[in-house]
Structure 1
Amino acid sequence: MASVIAVENLSKTYASGHPALKNINLDIQQGEIFALLGPNGAGKTTLISIICGIVNPGAGQVRVGGFDIKADYRAARSQIGLVPQELVNDVFETVWATIKFSRGLFGKKPDPAYLERLLRDLSLWDKRDAKIFELSGGMKRRVMIAKALSHEPSILFLDEPTAGVDVELRRDMWNMVRGLRERGVTIILTTHYIEEAEEMADRIGVIRQGEIILVEDKAALMHKLGKKQLTLQLKQPLSSVPVELAGYPLELADEGHALVFTFDAQREHTGIAELLKDLDRYGVDFKDLQSSQSSLEDIFVNLVRTRA
C-alpha cells in the first residue's frame, strides 16, 4: 500500500532543551489503522502535533498525502482530522453550529445531510440544538469527534480518544472507526488501553524517550515476540522441579501446586508431547492443564522495560 504519511529524520527539541523526538522515520500506509504506543512523555503527542501542523518541527521532513507540512501546509492539513486529548470547544455554541463552522474552516461546501449522518452515527442528533456547556463529558467528547470528521478527512488522528469515557461511547467510536477504515480512511491511534490497539490495529509502533523502537505488523509482532505458557495443576505439590526435568523451561507456581512450561509462540516444535511423556515417566501426576498466550500489553511492557 502507498504511504499516506511519510516522516523522515524528524527531530524536535523544545526551548527548555528537552529532546522530545530523535530522528524519527515512519511511514503510515493508506487505509490502515496504526496504533502508536508508548509510556507517558515518550513523544506520542508531540509527533502527532507536528504531523497535524500544531507544533513546528525541528529537523527533518513530514509529508501528508504527498504534501510537505511546511511548504504546503493548507493542502496537508485539509486531509487530516484530529481528536485531541483535551476537550476544546466553544462552550456557548450549539452542537450544530460547532460542526458546521468546523467544516467551513476547511473550505468545504455546506452539506447538511452529511452532518446529520455524522451526528446520528455519534448519537448526537437529539443534542444538535444544545449548547456545548449543557453536555456531559462523554457528549463533549462525541462533539470533538464530529468536529474532526466534519470536513470528511482522509486521515484521522485519535489521541487517547477513550480516556475517561463511558463504555457506550467507546463502543460507538470503534464501530465508527471500523466503518471509516472500510471507506479507506487512515486511522492513527494512541491509547493507554492496549487491548483496544490489540483488537483494532493493523500495525503497531512503539515510541520510547522520543525514539521509535519498533514498527511491526500486529500479527507478526504477536507471533514473533509473544510467549505461550502451559500450566499444569499437580495432584501433589512439589518443593522443586525434579532434576530429571531440568532440560525443560519449567517453573513452579501456586506454592508448588502448579508447573508452568513457557515457550516461544513462533516455535513449531514446543516439546509439549515430550514433556508430558517425561512427567509420566518420572511420576509427576497432574489433574488439569491450561494454555495461555502473551497479550500485546505483555509484549509492550517487555519491550519498554528491556530497552530502558
Structure 2
Amino acid sequence: MTTLVRAHGAPRSHDSDAAAGTEEVTEATAAGRPSAGARRRRPRVPVLGWGGLVAALVLAVVLVAALAPTALIRLDPLAADPLAALAPPSAQHLAGTDSLGRDVLARIVHGARYSLVIGVAATALAAVGGILLGLLAGSGNRVLDTVVARAVDVLASFPEILLALVLIAFTGPGLGNLVLAIGVAGIPRFARVVRSQTQLVRTSGYVEQARTFGLGGARLALRHVLPNALGVVPVLATIGLGSAIIGAAGLSFLGLGPQPPAPEWGAMLAENRNYLRVAWWGAVFPGVAVVITVVSATVLGRAFQRHLERSAA
C-alpha cells in the first residue's frame, strides 16, 4: 500500500483551509470565546445595563414633570369642576377626575415636584449628616468613634418611617418638617457605610505613606480619606431617594405632609381612598406613579452598585 505524505511547507488546498477555519471557530466557541462575527453582531450594552438605562429615563421624565409640568400637560391641577366629579378616564381627562372634578393626571404631573423636592432634599440632608458622622467616627479617636457609633445604632434600631413619624409628631406637619424628619431618619444608612469605608481607607498603604511624609490630619482626611471613602455615596443616595419618596408619600397619606389642595401623591391617595369602588382611578394612578418612581430609583442605584463593583474588580 502506498501512503501519500504532503511535504512540509507544501500549500494546503482550499478545502483544508476551510476545514481548519471551521475547526478554529468550533474550538473558540467550545472554549466559551465568541467568534468575530458573533462579537460584531452583539448589541452594545449601556454602562449601567438596560435596566439602569430604563430607570434613568423614567426618572428623567419625573424630573421634567417636576421642573416643567406645563410642558407635559396644560390643565390646572387645582381647577375644580363639580359637574365633572369622578369622571372616568376619557379623551378630555386621560386619568379621570377626582371627587372635586380636578384632573387626576394634571395633579400627578404637578405632584412630581413635591415628591422629588422632598426626596432630594431629605436624601441630601441624610447624606451630609451621615458623611460627617461617619468621618468623625472613623477618624481614629476611640472615644468619638464609640459615642457616634452608639448614637447611630440607636437611630438605626428604629425603622426609618417610624422614626420620621415620631420626629414629625414633635415638629408638626408641613413640607419643611417632613423633609427634616425623613432626612434625620436616613442619616444612619450613610453614617454606617462611610464610617466603615473611612476606617478601611485610613489603614491602606497610600494613606500610611502620606502620613509618613508628614501630611497632617485635616489635609490627610480631605485629600485622601474623604474622596476615597465617598465612592459608595452615589449608590446610597440613589436608593435613598426612593426610600425618601415612599416615606414622604406614606406620611402625607397620614396628613403629615403638604396640606390640601397641594397635589402631593400620598395626599392624593388619602383623598381618593374612599372612592375606590366607584372611581378607582383617583387612587390607583397616583399609587402607580409612586411605585414606578421608587422602583426606578432602586434599580438605578443597584445598577450604580454593579458598575462600581465591576470597576473595582
Would you call these one fold, judging by a TM-score over 0.5?
Answer: no
Structure possessing the higher relative contact order (Cα contacts under 8 Å, 6 or more residues apart): 2
> Which of the two has higher C-alpha Rg?
2
| Higher relative strand content | 1
- Shorter chain as denominator, the TM-score bin is under 0.3
TM-score (norm 1): 0.19
TM-score (norm 2): 0.19
| Higher relative helix content | 2
